[in-house]
């Protein structure tokens, strides 16, 4: 498959890793509709592309993502949209994007420096792993702008940090440093800013060299299992086990165990 970037989003597939780079540094990498559409398309294609074994999402410049570019949208002029335009648009753009990040059956790693605000925060939390600078800023600006959260914020945050801390973030607009976000369990890890890229690359390379089928199905199980009872979940585990045990990487894993060597997974 081919991955086309747009103005504001760099896209590259190398060595099994799809690298997506938000590239509007003069606007803190705020996501406009064109970039949102390109991200949706890239994650959708990645879910069908057997050449993709992991995804790395990052930002150019000093910041990861300052949120959605609502200033550009509101300054576009023209006639006022009809009632319901927001409800229709977010379903196919921001909400579709967060759903894809959660459901794509390859691991997603997010690298954060500077601001991760609004949908930027939600992308970092929806990713399987987020490596952030310890001095990064995680912020939900919605209550201070007079509107309600979108892109899954009110669903993701209680599940990551609990309802009490979710209220601090969403109702009070508390800002968290990267170190605090890691301590809260909101993200995977916080490291000194100069090595964020190095640590994210190390992690995504490890995941990209793993048993892609098994990792993807495990991710699916974790996502499906949220809010489901054990009796509902166990049949999903049996289904995933059936599929993963038929993969080439499963056979390689067993062979490597028998030979007492490291497995060489090929993502098949």
pLDDT of 71 over the 70 cut = no
Q: Rounded to whole angstroms, how far apart are CA atoms 43 and 218?
A: 18
Is 73 in contact with 45 (CB distance < 8 Å)?
no
Name residues whose C-beta falls within 8 Å of residue 194's C-beta, 6 or more positions apart in sequence: none
Report the predicted TM-score, pTM, of the whole model to 2 decimal places. 0.92
At residue 72, the pLDDT reads 58
Q: Rounded to whole angstroms, how far apart are CA atoms 129 and 190?
A: 11
pLDDT of 245 over the 90 cut = yes
At residue 73, the pLDDT reads 57
Name residues whose C-beta falls within 8 Å of residue 199's C-beta, 6 or more positions apart in sequence: 111, 131, 189, 191
Q: Considering the chain, what percentage of its residues have pLDDT values greater than 90? A: 85
Per DSSP (E only), the strands in 159-203 are 176-177, 189-191
pLDDT of 74 over the 60 cut = no
| Confidence class for position 75, pLDDT limits 50, 70, 90 | low
pLDDT of 92 over the 80 cut = no
At residue 4, the pLDDT reads 75
Q: What angle do CA 35, 38, 40 make, to 5 degrees?
A: 110
**Which residues make beta-bridge pairs with 17?**
14, 54
At residue 9, the pLDDT reads 97
Architecture of the domain defined by 9-208: Alpha-Beta Complex (3.90)
Q: Where are the domains of the chain?
A: 9-208, 212-259
Is 238 in contact with 254 (CB distance < 8 Å)?
no
Is 160 in contact with 125 (CB distance < 8 Å)?
yes
């Amino acid at each position: 498959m081919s991955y086309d970037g747009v103005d504001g989003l760099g896209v590259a597939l190398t060595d099994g890793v799809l690298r997506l780079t938000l590239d509007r540094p003069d606007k803190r990498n705020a996501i406009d509709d064109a970039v949102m559409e390109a991200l949706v398309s890239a994650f959708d294609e990645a879910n069908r592309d057997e050449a993709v074994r992991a995804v790395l999402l990052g930002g150019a410049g000093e910041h990861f993502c300052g949120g959605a570019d609502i200033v550009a949208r509101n300054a576009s002029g023209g006639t006022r949209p009809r009632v319901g335009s927001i409800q229709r648009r977010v379903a196919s753009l921001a909400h579709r994007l967060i759903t894809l990040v959660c459901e794509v059956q390859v691991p997603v790693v997010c690298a954060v420096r500077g601001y991760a605000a609004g949908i930027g925060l939600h992308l970092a939390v929806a990713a399987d792993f987020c490596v952030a600078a310890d001095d990064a800023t995680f912020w939900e600006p919605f209550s201070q702008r007079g509107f309600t959260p979108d892109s899954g914020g009110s669903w993701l945050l209680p599940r990551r940090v609990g309802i009490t801390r979710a209220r601090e973030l969403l109702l009070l607009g508390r800002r968290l440093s990267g170190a605090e976000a890691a301590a809260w369990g909101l993200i995977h890890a916080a490291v000194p800013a100069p090595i964020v890229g190095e640590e994210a690359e190390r992690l995504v390379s490890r995941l990209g060299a793993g048993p892609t089928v098994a990792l993807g199905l495990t991710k699916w199980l974790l996502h499906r299992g949220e809010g489901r009872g054990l009796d509902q979940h166990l049949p999903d585990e049996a289904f995933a086990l059936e599929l993963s045990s038929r993969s080439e990487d499963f056979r390689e894993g067993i062979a490597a165990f028998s030979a007492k060597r490291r497995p060489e997974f090929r993502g098949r």
